[in-house]
Every structure is written in structure tokens, then in C-alpha cells.
Structure 1
């Protein structure tokens, strides 16, 4: 395929986009791009037509490799003029060029590895756009190989480890922890066929390393509790011998009985959820990284006991600092070269001594454990003139198993409010649910300062998804979009718990 790309007239340094759900050919395409000396431009498979057009135009892509996407006719309708498309060998993939056809015409005997220096650009990783238009972080071949070599060593990845790839490969975390790491650790990758087959695929792969996002860990918990209510589970776990059998059965049912390392990232996860999984001998390590650091930042190796409520400790080679404004700063060997075509934004993101402004508010204790308290730009001010960080409040709300997602808002309100998305297992009895949510609101408020206390919970009627623009592709809240859609509901009713359809 590297020869085929050259035969298409692509020259070292040219940009090639990849848009597809995770599959073997995503990795094959990326390897071919690397071998041909080209620059990969991953695009989220759920991205809308406008975002796809923006990224491909901004990156000046010469070719787009198209694989498994849900609605190619809609998503690809605004491609830049003259951009060629190459379809992976899947039924749903579309393109003017076909993978197997260009392969047949390519003579592998003519392959010549395109020598690239460590400083040469390897990939443009576009941010997920949770706070605005995506920016392209420039990562070199040196960054790519450094992460691929050092991350497995830091986490204790072993040859033969099995990893299920299902979070977007277009995102830096899957690219680093799964793809790049596999190149150097000799781990085996499995791919999810579809959302419908996820649990079947997980049971088949039986990964030895498994990372996910808070929303999925919550869904797993809900699935367990549907079959085994909490009171019965607590009783069984308290019985000698029986408790161990129950734990093993639950993990086997999820396909996680062979896993020795569990992780969560992308968004904050409630300590209560981490403690729930810990009781089942599933110690989940929170990790942290950014597109700008190629996902490298903090985590813990397999076998080390996590400290819940923190995002772990700095990985080898990482220097962390906290500014006077309590912003976390990072410097590491795999820090981006800058934002593509955005020198001013790059300069604003860096300190004079080479640290990157993460935008996360944090503290680091004497043992190096890092505590994230929120995002600098996510803080808002109420009419009382007090600033509020929403993330800690949302984590407290997540203790309620019937709350799947929460978004705390309150700019120019006297007290903040929380928008609530219910879990599928939430009780259908409206009066019971309302009383339960009010009890949760009161309990949470007891742990908050007076200016932080929630005046109201608003239960939304539609699910927040990447497809409707309320979540990023990595399932983070898009706060600006949520506030734009629901802001008019705030303070419309004085009831402490209210349902959107009643407003």
C-alpha cells in the first residue's frame, strides 16, 4: 500500500486523511502512510460534513482513505474540491479508488523506505473541539516512536498482551495506548465489529489490558446491577468463598476475567464508581493526557494500587508544575511541535521555559499524586460574584446510580443548576424518582460551600450523544453546546427537581 500511495503521485510530506471506525485496515493505512513518508490526518468517524471539510481543507489533505462510517453520503458531501478518496475493502466504505485495485497495480518489489528524521512531521492530531473549532497538533516521527516505546514500558505491557480497540483511533489516547504501543510491545489487537456486537467481541478478545471512559464503566455497572441488585450483591460479597466466586463470575461475564490492568480516562469519573469496581477486584487506574502530549501524561503501571480521586502520577519523562493560578503545566519529550498554521495559538499555549498550559486546574501532593479540580475555562460566575468549578459537583451527583451524566451550569444565576441525564435503569415511578433526586441534591449540597449549592436539578428528555453535538467523540461534555441548547430552561421554575417536558 505504501507503493500504491506513491503511485498515486503522493510525495513525502503530503497529507492523507483517514476516516473510519476502528478496524485492521485503519492501522494498515496508517502504517502505509508512515512507510511512504506521508503525514496522516485522522478524522473522527462520527464527524459531521462541516468538521470533515474544515480538517481536510486546513490540513491541505491530498487523499482521504474512507472506511467504516455510518452515513458516507451525508458526511462526505462537502469534501474539498479535487480531493481523491480511497475506499477500504468494506461494504460500507466508499471512494473513487478501491483498496484492492490499487494494491493489485502496485509492485511491492519497488518499495523504498522514505527516510524521515525524528523532527519530521508524522501526523496532525486535531483536538475534539469541546471548547471550539478543532486545532491541529503537529506530532513528529520522534514523538510517535517515543510514545510507542515508553508507554508500554511505563505500564508494564508484555508481548502477547491482548487489547480490544474500540475507542476512536482518530483520538490521541487510542493512537498512543493501543496502536503505537502495539508496534513496540508485540501486543495483539482485536477490533469491535459494531456497537451491537461489542459485548460479544469483548468476550471473544478477553483482553489482558482494558481501558475505557467513565460512561462505559457506568453502563457496565448498570448491567451488573440489573442482574444482581446492590443489596443482594453486597450480601454475596460478604460471604467467605462465595464472594470470590461472584467477583470472578461478573468479570467473566464481561469478558474481563483475564485483564490485569484497568483504566479510565477522557473525562472525570466518580470516586464512588471507582470504589464500586474496586470491591469487585477491578482496580481502575485513572489516566490523563492531551492531544498536545500525544496522550502521554499521568497513569499507573499494572500492579500498582491507585489512589482514587487522583489521575495517577507523572509517567517517566514527564515534568509537571502548577502555576500561581493553579493551572497544571506539563513538559515532556513527546510534546507537540505546535498547532498547524497557528503560531499565535502555539505561543499562547507555551510558557517561556517550554511548559504547556493544559487548561486543567490541579494540585500535586507530596507523593506526586495529581488531583484535577476542573478546567480553567469551565469555571463560571454566579450573580453572587463567586466562581464555581462544575466538575467536582458533577462527580458528587454521579454517586447516584440513576444519574448517567450531569452538567452543572449557572452563569448569572444566584445558584447553579444541574442538567441530569438519567440512566436506563432509573425508576419509572415519577414521584419516587423525584424524591430520590431531591434527596441526592440535598446530600450533595451538604458537601458544598454555600455559593456552590445546587438550586435545581433539571431532568432532560433527550440523550446526549456525539451525534447530536452534546458530547465530543470521546464522550466529554460539550458545555457550550449544552448551555446554548438548555440555557433558556434555567431558573424557569422554582421547583428543586423539574423535568424538561414540564417547562
Structure 2
């Protein structure tokens, strides 16, 4: 991998652009009152160096672990840069964590300081987390912090002259990323500056990133995907990053940014699709899209209303997205590309190339990445972005990394003759029916593609056959509340189930589906921050109801 010697680490990159393009806007932050703040490269570097002066005055031990807790914001990235430029290690915390898990990470990471950012206690875990922050842990409040009784970033910037940054070495420990964790306690994934910056050159080879690009940052910066795609790339290539204010203003925020590159998770791509089809039904789309000239204009209008009319690179990851939805976007003129990565390799593993994508595959190995299928069909990957190991857990590191340096991903997959990887499930997701037959749930879930289904989970351990639990989309739930024909929807869901079962082995055929009542969310622990289902949590929650559902002997069971 070729890294520019002037941009050896993300911290080096900040000062490179501050010197080269000082007046170019780097970060645009919206506020709840409707105003926005633009921060240039020069201003970003100046604020960082002033906070470095304050951090130096605290006489923290060398390489102290400093936590960042908050939703995405311009100052989240600036805090990360200040930590690094003062010679310390950043530890991001998901803003949706519960208090118990936050307390575990604060203790396990040996945190010496907390940057407290954008939180309001409404769509985050602040109301629980705040009771678990140690009384003796120093706090610096970033703009939009829920506390005003701590030293504030804005005041510290005003009170301190800029200090000279202590730029790190590429192999220094940069960050400890605690996995969102679909099972058990989160593990602290250690990344060096080299493993983080190594993704930049590879992504350039795939997508030709330039300083003219724009991105909207809204997926959790505490996760490596956003850190790699937005933070690291923007610092390396010097492009403009916009932030989202809230879910309510997301469309407005997207329109402001008009991103040229947009990375999202399947749940949001599905929401966009459902929003468009609610206003322009599929039957009408089919007619309009096929009219010469007019069809092209209508497609462009749809993309413009989504805020994606300038998007040249559209990426989806973290979970599977159905071929039907991917093809719908491609028909609009947006080539949606699936990719694959993990916290342990800084999200740098596989991607589909523009013009060479295979729907249903996560692509081929990124430049510098090797892959193979190991024992039991498990995908093994060796990447330039591979972690240093798990913090304070050498035993788990040895368990997850082979003797020749390949990461055991925990995912099962197949590699075709052209080198394209297809994910077929999680090693630990397999379960046995009461007949002793193994069921692999992910492929079944991937085949269930009803447009009103937001997310599904196949379960049924120790039952005669699997069943499928289904959460309706927000739009579908609203339509039902407004009088939509429930019987018609039930028939459609039953037919979709039949279509899914037609491709299943006899022991895998789904006995029935359950339309669940309670939404699955990050807040109630059913979803990870990257919108993956926490299968063990969902199964445990519904376990007591399974026998009664089987006894109903219906194809579609309604929980409400």
C-alpha cells in the first residue's frame, strides 16, 4: 500500500490540508435552531492545537485512553484529532449504549478523560449512561453536550494558545474500538495509525476519491465503517464532510450535502425505497420509467428528491440487501455497491467495483487483501487494516487470528471462480430443530423480500421447524393504523413465505411467520448500532411465546 509520506497518519493529514488549502471548508455542522457552522481546515487545525495545549496542562500519563461519547458532529472528529495530536489514544463509545455496557467500557479501557458530545437523551442512551460515569472522571463538553457544568471545548479554545502537536508514529496505537457486539461483552479492537490510514489508498484505487468529493456523516463514528469511509478518507483526501442534525431533518441535511459518495446500511436504503413507492407506487413507476425521455427525467427527479442526484459512489454494507432493492436503485441510475468488512480489519476487506458488481455478493478482495475459506466454511481474511489485537485479551486474539495471520471472521461464505465472495451466514447462527437438523437462518432471511418488511429474523431452535419473525416498516404500521386492509397484507405475506419455502430444504421450510408488535431498535437492544439484528436477544425475548405460536397452526400470526 502506498501512503503519502506527508500524510503518514490521520493527524498528519489535518495539518497537511491546513497548510495546503487553509480556507477550504472541511466540516459543516447543523444546529437544532436551523443555523449551520462551517469549519475550515485552518480553523480545524487551530482548534485542535488549542485543545492540545489544555490536554498537555492536565499532565495525563503518556498514551492515556480518552473516551469520546456522542452522536456524530464536527467536534467529534476534532476531539479525535486533538487526542491523537496530544499523544493519546481515542476510545469511541456508541451513544446508544446502555449504562451497564458504557460503565464496562470506561473501566476496561482505563479511561482517563471523557469528551462528551452531542446527546439529548431522546434517541440515545444518555439518560442511562449518565448515572454510570465515574465521579472522578474528568469531562470536556463539546458543543451540543447535555452538560454545562464541565470545561467546555469552546471556552478552552478561547483560553489557550495553540500548542505544537505531537504527531504520532504510524505504528503507535491510535484507537480502541469496542465492538457493537451481537453477543456478549464488547471486545476492544486495537488499531494503529497505519491500519487506519492503510484503507485510504485502497479505496482510492476503487473509487478515485478527490478533494472535490462530499460526504454526509450520520452512521455512528464509533463504528469503524464511518471512521474509515468518512473520517479517514476525508482527512487523507481533503474533502468536505457534512453532518446530520437529527432524524427529523435528515432529508434536509442530505439535500444540503448533496453527497458525491454515500455509504449507508440496508435499513436506510429500504426506507428511501418505501418512501418513494408510497408516493409513486411501483405500478406507476413501471409505466413512467419506460417512457422514452420522460422516464429518464422522472428517475432524475426521484434521485434529486432523495438528495442523491450528485452521488457517484453509493455503498451498502453491515447486512444483506435484497437483489430487488439493489436493482431498483440501479434502474434509477444509482449503482448501489455491496461491500464487506469488520471492526477487526477497519472495515477494509471486500467490495464490488463500479461496473463489475455481482448482486448477492460482497465483491472481491480490496487491494492488498487476501481471502480464503477455512474449516467449516468460515471466511478468513488478511488485510492491511487488520487489528493489532484485542485490548487486554491476548487469548481471544490468538483464537480469532490464525498462525499465518488470517482473521477468522465468524462468517460463512463461498468464493466463486472469479473471486467474488458470497456471505451465507454466521458460524454461530446455526441452530438445530427438534428433529436434529441444522438450519442456517441468514439465506432464508435474505430471500424474504416483501416491501413492507423492515427486518426479519428466522428462529426455532428445538422446535419442529423454523419460524420467521417480522417487523413491519414504520410506513406499513402507520398504514395499518389508518385502516389499510390487514387481510390483504396477510395474504401477501403468506405468499411471500410460500415463495421463500420453495427454495428451502424440507427441514428448513418455515412453518409460519409472526408479525411482531414491538419495534426492534438499538435502544431496546434488539439491533446493533449498525442495524444488525441481535439474534440471541430477539430469540430470548420471544422464546416463551414459541410453543403458543406453533399451537395456533396458522401461516401468519399477528402479535397485535
Instruction: Report the equivalent of 2:506.
Output: 450
The Cα of 1:196 is off from its aligned counterpart by 0.8
Please name the residue that 1:284 is paired with. 336
Q: Look up the match of 1:132.
A: 184
1:372 correspondence with 2:423: yes
Per-residue deviation, 1:32: 0.6
User: What residue in structure 2 maps to residue 64 of structure 1?
Assistant: 114
Structure 2 counterpart of 1:441 = 497
* Equivalent pair of 1:22/1:169 in contact (CA under 8 Å): yes
Residue 30 of structure 1 is matched in structure 2 by 80
2:463 is the alignment partner of 1:413: yes
The one of 90, 104, 110 equivalent to 2:144 is 90
Unmatched 5+ stretches in structure 2 = 1-50
Aligned-pair distance for 1:46?
1.2
* 1:163 and 1:208 in contact (8 A); partners too: yes
* Pick aligned residue for 1:313 from 346, 352, 364: 364
Question: Deviations 1:308-359 (Å, cap 9, x if unpaired)?
Answer: 0000111001010101311000111221111000111111001111111000
Q: Match of 2:423, SS?
A: strand
> Are residue 121 (structure 1) and residue 173 (structure 2) matched?
yes
CA contact (8 A) 1:85 1:95 kept: no
The answer to whether the 8 Å contact 2:71/2:119 transfers is yes
Query: Which residue of 413, 435, 445 maps to 1:394?
Result: 445
Supply the distance in 1 between the matched residues of 2:74 and 2:355 (Cα, whole angstroms): 32
CA RMSD of the aligned region, Å? 1.4
The 8 Å contact of residues 69 and 93 in structure 1, kept in 2 or not, is answered as no
SS in 1 for 2:547: coil
**CA shift in 2, pair 1:194/1:409, >3 Å:** same
What's 1:21 paired with?
A: 71
What CA deviation, in whole Å up to 9, does each residue of 1:10-40 have, x standing for no partner?
Answer: 2431010001111100111011111111000
Q: Which moved more, 1:368-377 or 1:116-125?
A: 116-125
Q: 1:495 aligns with which of 554, 557, 560?
A: 554
Offset, 1:91: 5.7
**Which of 364, 384, 388 is matched with 1:337 structurally?**
388
Q: 1:375 Cα deviation (Å)?
A: 0.5
Tell me what 2:285 maps to.
233
Deviations 1:266-300 (A, max 9, x none): 11111121112122112211111000001111113
- Specify which of 447, 464, 484 is matched with residue 540 of structure 2: 484
Which of the numbers 516, 520, 528 marks the counterpart of 1:472?
Answer: 528
Q: Equivalents in 2 of 1:73, 1:167: separation in Å?
A: 21
Contact 1:148 1:182 in 2 (8 A): no
Select 1:104's aligned residue among 155, 158, 161.
158
Aligned equivalents of 2:486, 2:253: Cα separation in 1: 37
Residue 242 in structure 1 maps to residue 294 in structure 2: yes
Residue 235 (structure 2) pairs with residue 183 (structure 1):
yes
Judge conservation of contact 1:87–1:97 (CA < 8 Å) in 2.
yes
Tell me, in whole angstroms, the C-alpha distance in 1 between the residues paired with 2:153 and 2:167. Answer: 25
Question: Structure 1 pair 482/73, CA: closer, same or farther in 2 (3 Å)?
Answer: closer
Q: 1:12 aligns with which of 47, 62, 77?
A: 62
Q: What secondary structure does 1:466 align onto?
A: coil
Q: TM-score, normalized by length of structure 1?
A: 0.96
Distance 1:62 1:223, change over 3 A: same
In structure 1, the residue matched to 2:274 is 222
Q: Tell whether 2:405 aligns with 1:358.
A: no
Q: Tell whether the 8 Å contact from 1:192 to 1:201 is kept in structure 2 after alignment.
A: yes
Give the superposition deviation at 1:73: 4.4
Note closer, same or farther for the CA distance 1:340–1:442 as it changes in structure 2 (3 Å cut): same
The Cα of 1:113 is off from its aligned counterpart by 3.0
Distance 1:319 1:95, change over 3 A: farther
Kept in 2: contact 1:86–1:95 (CA 8 A) = no
Q: How far did 1:95 drift?
A: 5.3
C-alpha separation between the residues in 2 aligned to 1:50 and 1:219?
31
Which position in structure 1 is the counterpart of 2:255?
A: 203
Deviation of 1:425 (Å): 3.7
- Helix, strand or coil: the match of 1:262? strand
Unaligned runs of 5+ residues in structure 1 are none
Question: 1:188-221: per-residue Cα shift (whole Å, max 9, x none)?
Answer: 1000011111000101110000111100011000
The equivalent of 1:260 in structure 2 is 312
Contact map agreement 2:84 2:168 (CA 8 A) in 1: no
Within 2, Cα distance between the matches of 1:449 and 1:300?
30
Distance 1:424 1:406 in 2: 14
Distance 2:205 2:496 in 1: 43
Q: Matched residue of 2:375: which SS?
A: coil
**Residue of structure 1 in register with 2:375 after alignment:** 324
Structure 2: distance between partners of 1:201 and 1:394 = 32
Q: Is the contact made by 2:66 and 2:89 (CA closer than 8 Å) also made in structure 1?
A: yes
Question: Larger deviation: 122-131 or 275-284?
Answer: 275-284
Shift of 1:9: 2.0
- The separation in 2 between residues aligned to 1:31 and 1:286, in whole angstroms, is 30
The alpha-carbon deviation at position 69 of structure 1 amounts to: 1.4
The 2-side partners of 1:327 and 1:231 are apart by 42
303-312 or 405-414: which moved more? 303-312
* Conserved 8 A contact 1:458-1:497: yes
Aligned residues: 497
Q: Aligned equivalents of 1:383 and 1:4: distance in 2?
A: 62
Match of 2:63, SS? coil
